[in-house]
Amino acid sequence: MKLTELEEGQLLGIELEAGELFVQFTVLTPDNERVAVFSHNRDTSKIKIRFYALSLRTGLNTVDGFATFGEIESVSCFKSRYTLEGDFGAITVFADTTFIQPAPF
């Protein structure tokens, strides 16, 4: 799966490791598949993450009743960075390794 396939999905969770070694986003895809987007640097250096116009709030739910931070409206990908934009604001991650895998419920 490509990052751009997350557009129109729902952002369900964000986990930024305390040492900033990795970030993981839990996303419900438009096909109702729950996935984890995991980003880190191969050399174990800290990743960089930037939040813009951040708006995290409770009370939003998907049509199936999952709590969500909102829809991912667009995904921009560059060499070693990507940006998720949506109802929650914009989040840019600078990391050299990103992969998507099924997420547990």
DSSP string for 36-96:
EEEEE-TT-PPPEEEEES----S--B-TTS-B-SEEEEEEEE-SSEEEEEETTEEEEEE-S
The pLDDT, as a whole number, for residue 57 is 80
Long-range Cβ pairs for the range 23-29 (8 Å, 24+): 23/47, 23/49, 23/93, 23/95, 25/84, 26/103, 27/72, 27/103, 28/62, 28/66, 28/68, 29/1, 29/5
Give tens-digit pLDDT for 15-33. Answer: 999 999 999 999 999 999 9
The pLDDT, as a whole number, for residue 3 is 94
The pLDDT, as a whole number, for residue 60 is 77
What count of other Cβ atoms lies within 10 Å of the Cβ of residue 39?
21
The pLDDT, as a whole number, for residue 61 is 78
List the domains of the chain with CATH numbers: 3-102 (3.20.190)
Amino acid (1-letter code) at residue 22:
F
Read off the pTM: 0.91
Mean pLDDT by 10 residues, the chain (105 residues): 95 93 96 96 96 85 83 94 96 97 88
The pLDDT, as a whole number, for residue 58 is 74
